[in-house]
Amino acid sequence: MSEKPSVLFVCVHNAGRSQMAAAWLSHLAGDRVEVRSAGSAPADQVNPAAVEAMREVGIDITAETPKILTVDAVKASDVCITMGCGDTCPVFPGKRYLDWKLDDPAGQGVEAVRPIRDEIKKLVEGLIEEIAPAPEKSA
């Protein structure tokens, strides 16, 4: 498979869960995966508690901005992972859809966001193993 897999993370505001998931995937998979995130009703800015929670693990998402979910973004992605956006995500045949049940960090302090961040990391690690495993190291 020469083309690298692409993943789109979608939540309502594209301010917390999907931003953290995209950051984890970029951080953990590097350039093995193409990463996008979007929201069905994007917020004005990324959730400051999400920014802080990711900063604590050495990942800077301060430059990220919530983006509107587009049909093109879904079409361009191999895997579409929704996080509480319900039926607002367009569905196309031939795409793989996963729905991750995660608490919404909106309005929560960083203490409440940390467990969500850690849960997202576990889910992303599992996803990487499935779609873009690390190359075998030769002995």
pLDDT digits (tens, 9 = 90+) for 98-121: 999 999 998 999 999 999 999 999
Please identify which of the residues 20, 33, 89, 120 carries the catalytic annotation: 89
Please identify which of the residues 85, 113, 128, 131 carries the catalytic annotation: 85
Is the pLDDT score of 131 beyond 50?
Answer: yes
Whether the CB-CB separation of 46 and 64 falls below 8 Å is answered with: yes
Per-residue exposure over 67-95, b if at least 16 CB sit within 10 Å of its own CB, e if not: eebeeebbeebbbbbbbbbeeebeeeeee
Residue-level pLDDT at 61: 98
Q: Decide if 80 is catalytic.
A: no
Tokens, residue 21: 């998931």
Is the pLDDT score of 2 beyond 50?
Answer: no
Residue-level pLDDT at 117: 98
99 Cα distance to chain centroid: 11
Q: Decide if 11 is catalytic.
A: yes
pTM: 0.92
